[in-house]
Structure 1
Amino acid sequence: MSLHEHTTLAGRSVRSRVVFGPHETNLAVGRTLSDRHRAYYQRRAEGGAGIIVAETASVLDNDWPYERAPLATLCGPGWRAISAACVPHGALVLAGLGHTGMQGSSAYSQSVLWGPSRVADPVTRELPMMMEQGDIDRVVEGFRASAALAVDSGMAGVEIDAGPRSILRQFLSGLTNTRADRYGTDRLTLLREVLQTVRGAVGANHVVSLRLSCDEQAPWAGVTPELTVGYVSELERYLDLLIVVRGGLYSTAGYRPDFHEEPNFNRELCRIVKATVSIPVALQGSVVDIADAHEALAHVDYVEMTRAQIADPDLVVKSARGDQPRPCVLCNQTCLVRDPRNPVVTCVGNPSAGFETVDPDERRQELISGPVLVVGGGPAGLEAARIMAGRGAAVTVSERSSRFGGMIRTFAQGKGRSRFAVLAQWLEDECRRSGVTMLTEHTISSSEIDDARGHGDVVVASGSVPRLPTYPVDTSVLWMDPVQALELGGDSIEGPVVLVDPLGGPMAVALAEMLAECGLDVSIVTPDTIVGSRLGMSGDLVGANTRLQQVGVNRVCSSRVRAVVDGVVQIENVYTDVVAHIRCATVIDCSPRLPDTSLHYSGCAGVGDTIAPRTVLESIHEGRRAGFTTGTGFNSVERIDS
């Protein structure tokens, strides 16, 4: 089988075997699907997605799991617009339907959570009410009515969510269902009733898909692969497609983990389930590489590549013509958006994802001519060069080091993080393919910038420099910043090591793991009450602290550094001012670096760390903006440093 092969489901044509699965986007207006939803899905349909499942909509208004969660009764116009936009490109579009039950939120609904039994969600600790027959009937009717509305609104069918956060999975699981009635003695009863009534509502000529958690990773009481085999054998009569996923009450992060989990992790689970059913089965689980997807089709019928298509909406058509899609690095930093900030879904490597109605379309840009000099070959500079070369400019990138990629290339060391190097290499390769002149070990002076400015446009992406310590440090220890530490490597650093982490981000955690795995005695000092506090937004907070504990890293929380004297780091508790001491040979301070001010420039586009400490997302976004607007009256960041 081929990813690009046409298939059919319920008699309906499917352009390819690639699925763009349902996920939170925060693109809703209120609880309705917006025009930004339409543009977001249309872009993936244009890029070759075979099946697109719209963001899961709550089937009852008492289910409001996050602020911008769609509500099915309000989604008719949005579903109609999405279908009209995607179907002409060959995509089969399904409406995602669900209810999160006891794993939802009462913050927005201001009503009690529903659950099969009185079991609290371990995340919110909120105890739900135990549903009575009337409540269960409402859920079944909610799925029926929502499915009927979806197909009446032009959708090709529906996907029913029985995944890690679903009330339907909660009824299947012994972790959450301890009932003594028929919904407890036969835990499949509710899901069976929902699928039966949905099939009756949509008919045989519309698709019914089921997203089913086939392993809750809690074998003492949860759904296991062995139980799933029995479930799907009975349920397949109602289904046209089964999406095999994992995760549950205690393992929601297992559904969409970051790069610390090996890709394609559900392949064996999918193989077990596929062997028991005759209907098509789709593999989900960090499938982001085309070669892996092709290989998976030896065992399954469809491959879900959601994050890969957020990273590059043209993934399918590019792979068909032999081009390399923009890679997904599996970082979860900006595509995992269920948090109080309500960020719009996007991608660190493709900041236009989610902003299709806001950002220019690089496929349809005004041509420019004349030379452009890009100073710095990090992610911001390379993205600017790539876009401008695509617009016809003669672009030169000048990089003072021996390699391109900047900070993401430096960070790409260690297990999993090598995916960042793939992104850096893709940017470099695309620049070369577009005819950009690439110079390494080439230092530009301010006078050369002035000269280049006189003949064309200049984008300055010169990066950052280490920040000096804000506390006294004597010569008894070696002090460095994380970039210097990564360039040295763990084998060249003397221990004990103290990592200072005021940010709570991934850098200090990654360094601590790397150094501890090299056999060094490592401590990490943070002012927060937990190490890696900001990793909760990418789903890695628990995982990071588990890994640090496993490799023996000493975690010192609620503390700040006062001084480094006589081979000792003096720290004080941020709440009590109690002073403690940690002996060390090396201090690595993971504070933000500072902009490189060695170049004087005016009237040039300044992007990335040249402006202020930037994330990968911000750097590439600013590079894109400079690429789109240079030569058309770019509103530059002007700076003259004395």
Structure 2
Amino acid sequence: MVKLFEQISIKGVTIKNRVVMAPMCMYSADNDGMVQDWHIIHYATRALGGTGLIIQEATAVESCGRISDRDLGIWKDEHIEGLRKIVKSIKDNGSVPGIQLAHAGRKSTVFSEPVIGPSAIAFSEEYKTPTEMSKEDIKRVIEAFKKAAERALTAGYEVIEIHAAHGYLINEFLSPLTNKRRDEYGGSKENRVRFLKEVLEAVREVWSKPLIVRVTAEDYEEEGNHAEDLADMVNLVKDLGIDLVDVSSGGVVDVTVKAYPGYQVDFAETIKNLTGLSVIAGGLLTTADQCEEVLQAAKADMIFLGRELLRNPYWTLKAAHDLKTEIQWPVQYERGKYRE
């Protein structure tokens, strides 16, 4: 049986296939984080193209937590109306809507706002040195994630992904390269995962639907985290209700990564095997055969696509043809269906 087109059900949410649209920043909001018509068209098109789960781009839980001043926001109730429109456009076109809740930490380029991080270490010369977070700052951001989860529920999302990857705030706490704290939030793995643990606890107070955590499984520096380290930390918090781990890599420090098709799949397999959790794998996967091979080998449970879905929103329809599997096409497009 073709694995890529098997349904998967998580906490009562059924996803029609194993194709996931990875969250990708589009930098197309207004400067107050508000949804534009462009976003609705962008996400609706990928849903119409057959993608099973669409995870909306990094959506900031604080104004100072934006990567750029054109990021989508979910830090105030006024954002909900626009987000509801994205949700409706995704659901109406047959996909499951997810949202990535994020805080940029030291990698924020909104320099009119405070830049914060676990330690006062800049990402590079082009970035501002963050202010080391106080205990009050930590509590405030945790509450911001909780409030964002409440707004996500009100807006109608079915899945939340907590962004703990790519060198953004939660990832900064997890990595020894960026976390030099000497209190209970720094040092050991148990301490470095504490901030993520408290975010998960707060979110789970208001969110009972599927919960994904996106991690950077490889820092690409000897003294940084590796897949086994991330597995250890995930094991410390997985009982808080993590349903899937979305496995990526890099972004913690300014290094060049040698990327090739499937370069992150082994990291996902390691985390899957060491934690017993379901994982989403990807990394320059572009063909149906590549994705199917990963699933058939039980290296992952779902596949995320990024650039390929930017190039071709209807990738999933072609993938079904390539794997000789019949799936339902949009009625309006049936005349364009691939034929043998």
Q: Establish whether TM, by shorter chain, passes 0.5.
A: yes
| Greater relative CO, 1 or 2 (CA 8 Å, sep 6+) | 2
Of residues 164, 175, 180 in structure 2, which corresponds to 1:173? 175
* Alignment-mate amino acid for residue 283 of structure 2: G
Instruction: Look up the match of 2:329.
Output: none
Q: Is the 8 A contact 1:122 1:249 kept in 2?
A: no
Of structures 1 and 2, the larger Rg is shown by: 1
Q: Is the 8 A contact 1:151 1:202 kept in 2?
A: yes
Between the aligned residues of both structures, percent identity stands at 27
Within 2, Cα distance between the matches of 1:62 and 1:282?
29
Residue 146 of structure 1 and its aligned partner are, at CA, apart by: 0.2
Length, aligned pairs only: 319
Shift of 1:261: 2.7
**What is the rounded CA distance, in whole Å, between the counterparts of 2:110 and 2:87 in structure 1?**
32
Change beyond 3 A, Cα 1:270–1:141 = same
Residue 310 of structure 1 pairs with residue 310 of structure 2:
yes
1:225 to 221, 224, 227: 227
Assess, with a 3 A threshold, how the Cα gap between structure 1 residues 252 and 5 changes in structure 2: closer, same or farther.
Answer: farther
1:10 aligns with 2:11: yes
Shift of 1:106: 3.7
User: 1:216 Cα deviation (Å)?
Assistant: 0.8
2-structure distance, mates of 1:20, 1:253: 24
Whole-Å Cα distance in 2 between the matches of residues 269 and 64 of structure 1? 27
User: What CA RMSD, in Å, does the superposition of the two structures yield over aligned residues?
Assistant: 2.1
Q: Alpha-carbon deviation of 1:252?
A: 6.6
Deviation for aligned residue 1:275: 0.1
Q: 1:252 to 1:165 in 2, by over 3 A?
A: farther
Q: Secondary structure of the equivalent of 2:64?
A: coil
Query: What is residue 193 of structure 2 aligned with on the other side?
Result: 188
TM-superposed deviation, 1:251: 4.3
Give the superposition deviation at 1:103: 1.3
Is 2:248 aligned against 1:245?
yes
Q: 8 Å contact 1:171–1:188 — kept in the other structure?
A: yes
Q: How much does 1:323 deviate?
A: 8.7
- The aligned counterpart of 2:29 is 28
In structure 2, the residue matched to 1:291 is: 289
Match of 2:152, SS state, is helix
Q: 1:263, 1:22 → 2: CA distance?
A: 19
Segments of 5+ residues of structure 2 without an aligned counterpart are 325-331
Which residue matches 1:331? Answer: none
Deviations 1:361-418 (A, max 9, x none): xx78xxxxxxxxxxxxxxxxxxxxxxxxx8xxxxxxxxxxxxxxxxxxxxxxxxxxxx
Q: Distance in 2 between matches of 1:64 and 1:314?
A: 30
- Give the counterpart letter for 1:23 in structure 2: M
Q: How many Å apart are 1:57 and its aligned residue?
A: 1.0
On the 8 A contact 1:157/1:202 being kept in 2, the answer is no
Equivalent pair of 2:171/2:252 in contact (CA under 8 Å): no
Give yes or no for the alignment of 1:282 onto 2:285. Answer: no
Report the alpha carbon displacement of residue 17 of structure 1 after superposing the two structures with TM: 0.1
Residue 75 (structure 1) shift = 3.0
What amino acid is aligned across from residue 160 of structure 1 in structure 2? I
CA shift at 1:125, angstroms?
Answer: 4.4
Counterpart-to-counterpart distance in 1, 2:265 and 2:55: 21
Q: Pairwise mapping of residues 99-498 of structure 1 onto structure 2 (< 5 A)? A: 99-107=103-111, 110-185=112-187, 186-203=191-208, 206-220=209-223, 222-237=224-239, 238-251=241-254, 254=257, 261-297=259-295, 298=297, 299-322=299-322
**Is residue 5–residue 16 contact of structure 1 (8 Å, CA) maintained in 2?**
yes
Aligned counterpart, 2:100: 96
Hey, what's the Cα distance between the residues in 1 that align with 2:16 and 2:242?
20
1:39 is aligned, of 14, 38, 41, to 41
Unaligned 5+ segments in structure 1 are 255-259, 325-362, 365-389, 391-429, 434-642
- Report the residue type matching 1:61 in the other structure: S
For 1:268-309, what per-residue CA distance to the aligned partner results, in whole angstroms no more than 9, with x for missing partners?
111111102233200021111111000010221000012111
The 8 Å contact of residues 123 and 254 in structure 2, kept in 1 or not, is answered as: no
- Structure 2: how far apart are the matches of 1:132 and 1:239? 27
Counterparts of 2:137 and 2:288, CA distance in 1: 44
Letter aligned with residue 203 of structure 2: V
Q: CA deviation at 1:253?
A: 5.7
